Amino acid sequence: MDTKTRNHLSARARVLKALAHPARLAAVDELAKGERCVCELQQIIGSDMSTVSRHLAILREAGVVTDDKRGNQVFYSLRVPCILNFFSCVESVLQASAEQSAQVLG
């Protein structure tokens, strides 16, 4: 594997890693409905405000969301719309797993 390929895989992995957390997925789901401030996202996620802020920073650094400071609030929004249909395949994986489990059990 050459260096270019390696770097590309690392870049892809970074994006996936940023998404690979329940709290961050919850944030993305909510942001799919539109721009939200940190306090709104905190209510949904339910963790400490500082924890939510850190999760959002991870999504921002990965390029998944952008932030916009207005007044004393910071509004986050999805930067890449396709992130949404993007999950349909993850669902397929889950569904295939469920079917297999059902087979094993049944």
State the residues that interact with its own copies by CB under 8 A: 1, 5-6, 9-13, 15-17, 19-22, 24-26, 29, 44-46, 62-64, 79-80, 82-83, 85-94, 96-97, 100
Q: Which is nearer to DNA, 16 or 102 (CB)?
A: 16
DSSP 52: H
* Residue in the block written with tokens 């709104």: 40
Give the interface segment with DNA, choosing from 1-9, 32-40, 84-92, 93-101 (CB under 7 A).
32-40
Which one of the spans 4-12, 19-27, 77-85, 91-99 is the region binding DNA (CB under 7 A)?
19-27
- Per CB under 7 A, 73 contacts DNA: yes
Q: Tokens 């401030």, residue? A: 37
Which of the choices DNA, its own copies, none does residue 16 contact, using the CB cut-off of 5 to 8 A by kind? Answer: its own copies
The set of residues, in sequence order, having a beta carbon less than 8 Å from that of 53 and lying 6+ positions away, is 38
CA dihedral (65, 68, 73, 75) positive or negative? negative
Helix, strand or coil for residue 67? Answer: strand
